[in-house]
Amino acid sequence: MLISLIAPIYNEEKNIQLLTEKIDAVMHSNKFNYELILINDGSKDNSLSIIKEQALLSPQIRYISFSRNFGKESAMIAGLNAARGDCAVILDADLQHPPERIPEMIQYYLQGYDQVVMRRDRSGEHTIRKFPTQLFYKLINNAVDIQLTDGEGDFRLISRRVIDSILSLKEYNRFSKGIFEWVGFSKKTLNYKNIERFEGQSSFSLKRLVDYAIDGIISYNNKPLRLCFHFGAITMTLCLLYILITFIQIMRHGVESPGYFTIIASVLFLGSVQLFGLGIIGEYIGRIYYETKGRPHYIISDTNIDESDFQEKVRKRA
């Protein structure tokens, strides 16, 4: 049995060597046959050079380097595309996902589970940190057709048939948490304590987290569009009712002095509703625009993996 370990990398020069050493120690001590696929997602530091050095030292290490930063979603797809294993484990290169838990995940895979998901234990976290996350999951679960669980992320083991199912999905805009739930299959959840980064800082900014949340809501349903329709219908009904009441008052009492504030407030409110609705429609149209272009998820500039090992044809930069 071959196990593929996939680690997206972006500016992790201080963590790569420690990552490879920890994984090698864990896998060899448990006598697991493995390959480690490192995906350099357009790092601006010395990550690629260190990856190449590690690949020369260990035959288990295979690497892919993108022509630029395409994002973590693309890096995960590239890793799955190159994975030769019977199953794959996705983990972060910053060592916040403890490699020491991999043997336990493999044991549950051998029991027949197609997905072994590591759920982050948030007990002990400050309320200020937990509240936005809890709010996000509550909102997104009310907005999408699948159910996401707080704390479940990319740190998971997936079987070969889950890998093949994910690779069969051709959409350009991807939201991995939703995809993992959408493909289904048997699932086992384990808890783990998140470890502080050994070196460096997280590359996820507030803007990227907000964009990620929008992707999650838009990618899996048309409820926002339907919400605009219902809200528009309710607003139109209220406006017609207001016009009717105003007309009756005019017929009974004559024309009173115009309500300047009411008019301005109504115009601004309805205008903002229209802009909000157009923004939601624009998000969907933008995704259609990208899907119709048929662009690849990534372009490879350097790799030590033979092209025949990729499950799907990949685009390389000359």
pLDDT digit string, tens, across residues 300-314? 888 888 877 676 655
CB 26 within 8 A of CB 99: yes
Q: How far apart are CA 150 and CA 21, in angstroms?
A: 30
What is the value of pTM for the model shown?
0.68
Nearest-angstrom CA–CA distance, 252 and 113: 73
Per-residue pLDDT of 204-254, as tens digits, reads 555 555 665 566 555 555 566 666 666 766 776 676 677 677 667 666 766
- Looking at residue 220, its amino acid is Y
Whether the Cβ atoms of residue 176 and residue 77 lie closer than 8 Å to each other: no
Angstrom distance (rounded) from CA 238 to CA 263: 15
**Which structure tokens are listed for 140?**
């997104």
Number of helices (H), then strands (E), belonging to the chain: the values are 10, 8
* E strand map for the chain: 2-9, 33-40, 61-66, 87-90, 115-120, 152-159, 187-192, 300-303
186, 115 Cβ separation under 8 angstroms: yes
Q: Which residues pair with 159 in a beta bridge?
A: 87
Distances (CA, A) of 284 to 24, 50, 129: 44, 40, 30
Local structure of residue 308 (DSSP, 8 states): G
What separation in angstroms does the CA of 291 have from each of 205, 269, 284?
26, 34, 11
- Residues 257-283 have pLDDT tens digits of 566 546 755 776 677 677 667 767 776
DSSP state of 31: T
